[in-house]
Amino acid sequence: MKKNIGNITKIILVYLLLTIFIITFFFIPKSGEENTSLLPKQTSNNEINTSLEALVIESSPDINFQETRNKYQNNDIIARLEIPNLFNILITQSTDNKYYLNHSLTKKKDTKGTEFMDYRNNIDSKQINIYGHNSRTYDIPFRKLENFLNKDYFNKNKYILLQTELEKRIYEITAIKEVKDNEHMQIKLQGSNYLKHLDKLVDNAYHYREIKYDENSNILVLQTCSYANKDSYYIIVAIEIN
């Protein structure tokens, strides 16, 4: 009986020693080596940008513009503007920058107005300006742009998607600032004048994200009224991701 117990003990010890050997040899990295099997896969900046762009696009399925115009009986609907987790709205365009200050999507009189593109823009313009009311009374879309005055919110929310009948454009927000001048209303500049214009748009911003731009960059400017100072506006400046 004692002999059998001894044999069993020897077998158990051999099994334990063999197990320790296997673990040491195959799973513990040798000196000077790094065990990469458990490390996260390294991702390039290009792959990161591509995946983020894909995520933004997937969050915004295409719409049928003609069906949408028929629904609202309004042929002035030319685009859809989305800031993920903030709003997803239709954009109009008239023959001036006054009509949609006091008209709804169905062209009825409405003091809340409707967000609209500058009448001087084409939907493929290099600089696109979109305007909308702010309000302390009504929960309207561009009132929510004030969220970007919060530094933490600005840092966490980067992208704007503009969909037209021609394409989807993805922009990354570079700045939010308060203005009293009309620099952002200059939408036809070219060459070095355009580059100086972009520099002015991001200068003295409340919050700024460094994004490279040049005289060929496409930009988007969103404007709404500021209640902080009389006769001033908040503008958000975003640069198209290429």
Tens digit of pLDDT at every position of the chain (242 positions): 544 555 555 665 555 566 665 555 544 444 444 343 333 333 344 444 555 555 555 556 788 999 999 999 999 999 999 999 999 999 999 999 999 999 999 999 999 999 999 999 998 899 999 999 999 999 999 999 999 999 999 999 999 999 999 899 999 999 999 999 999 999 999 999 999 999 999 999 999 999 999 999 999 999 999 999 999 999 999 999 97
CATH second-level architecture of 45-240?
Beta Barrel (2.40)
Q: Are 125 and 119 in contact (CB under 8 A)?
A: no
Q: Measuring CA to CA, how many Å separate 219 from each of 6, 162, 228, 240?
A: 82, 11, 26, 6
Task: From 160, 142, 159, 163, select the one nearest 78 (Cα to Cα).
Answer: 163
User: How far apart (Å, rounded) are the C-alpha atoms in residues 32 and 201?
Assistant: 52
pLDDT at 40: 34
DSSP 30: P
User: Is 116 in contact with 102 (CB distance < 8 Å)?
Assistant: no
Domain positions in the chain are 1-30, 45-240
Q: What is the pLDDT of residue 105?
A: 97
Residue closest to 174 by CA, chosen among 235, 133, 89, 88 = 235
